[in-house]
Amino acid sequence: MSSYTPAELCVIMGSRALKDGQIVFAGAGLPLLSAIHAQKMHAPGLAILFEVGGVAPRIGSLPRSTNEARSVRRSMATPATVDMMLYLQRGFVDVGFLGGAQIDRHGNINSSVVGPLEKPKVRLPGSGGANDIASSANRVFIISYHEKRRFVEKVDFVTSPGFLDGGQAREETGLLGGGVERVITNLGILEFDSQTRSMTLVAVHPGVTQQEVHEKTGFELPVSDALEETTPPSEEELTALRGLDPERKYLKEGDF
């Protein structure tokens, strides 16, 4: 079996989750790599959207942010930012990809503040387009490094809504987007119980034990009765991926 970094593993799991023909809102870094990888491997008709105003760009050199000419290279259209974000509200976006400093058991994400907002311990950069993606994308995938300080019982601040307090809370507040469907980490894959809307472990990656996942999760994590083991990245998948990031800006060892 070939070796791969946690970032490479997550990008490939993200790529596999994408389907041909989908419209995907992807941020720079690992989500973008997942989307381009999927285009190369199995989803040539997948189109990427960027908040800056890129529709279906043909990415060459990897952009260092979502907001520059590299991320709109050879786009088919370059609409205004307000329109890009309104495509989400209208229902055009099949998949939104998100990361975050803190994620809780109901898939709520905090990228605003650690500690109370009026007296912050750490002020974080803020939502950007993440709240709009979480509010209105037809489904959301989260890619995150799996560690206790990120997977918390309750986020300090709900920047991007998952299932809020669980159950029907998300629907009752009036949100129309589908919410978080899947959380992809370097340890496994998590989905949400259809009733409680609580995060549940549905698959572990090869060589990862349930014990390790529990140790690195900051809340009690239910395990699916049908727990699976994921298929490791193939040589073909890894070669295609490494060609996309030859300088290994994003695919380096360690956390991300």
Task: Considering the complex, state which of residue 115 and residue 206 has its C-beta at the smaller distance from another protein.
Answer: 115
* Composition of the chain by helix, strand, coil, percent to 5: 25, 20, 55
| Class of residue 206 by CB neighbours under 10 A (exposed 0-12, middle 13-18, buried 19+) | exposed
SS (H, E, C) 187-206: CEEEEECCCCCCEEEEEECC
80 is a site residue for another protein (CB under 8 A): yes
Write the binding mask 206 to 245 for another protein: x where contact by CB under 8 A, - elsewhere: ----------------------------------------
CA pair distance 237, 234, nearest whole angstrom: 5
User: Which three-class secondary structure state does DSSP give residue 110?
Assistant: strand
Give least dist CB 155 to another protein, A.
9
CB 95 within 8 A of CB 139: yes
Q: Which of residues 120-179 bind another protein (CB under 8 A)?
A: 120, 122-132, 134-136, 157-161, 164, 169-170, 173-176
- Tell me the CB-side half-sphere exposure of residue 245, using CA atoms within 13 A: 21
Q: Count of alpha carbons within 13 Å of 57, Cβ hemisphere only?
A: 27
- Asked if 28 touches another protein (CB under 8 A), the answer is yes
Catalytic annotation, pick one of 8, 51, 228, 229: 51
User: Does position 42 bind another protein by CB under 8 A?
Assistant: no
Residue placing its CB nearer to another protein in the complex, 175 or 223 = 175
Q: How far is the CB of 45 from another protein (least distance, A)?
A: 19
| Minimum CB distance to another protein, residue 171 (Å) | 10
Task: Pick the stretch among 115-123, 140-148, 202-210, 238-246 that binds another protein (CB under 8 A).
Answer: 115-123
Stretch of 36-44, 62-70, 219-227, 234-242 contacting another protein, by CB under 8 A: 62-70
253 is catalytic: no
What are the angstrom distances between the C-alpha of 116 and each of 110, 130, 163, 219? 12, 20, 21, 21
Q: Tell me which DSSP letter residue 77 carries.
A: B
Judged by the rule CB under 8 A, the positions of this chain that interact with another protein are: 28-29, 51-54, 58, 64-70, 72-74, 78-82, 85-86, 88-89, 112, 117-120, 122-132, 134-136, 157-161, 164, 169-170, 173-176
Catalytic residue numbers read: 51
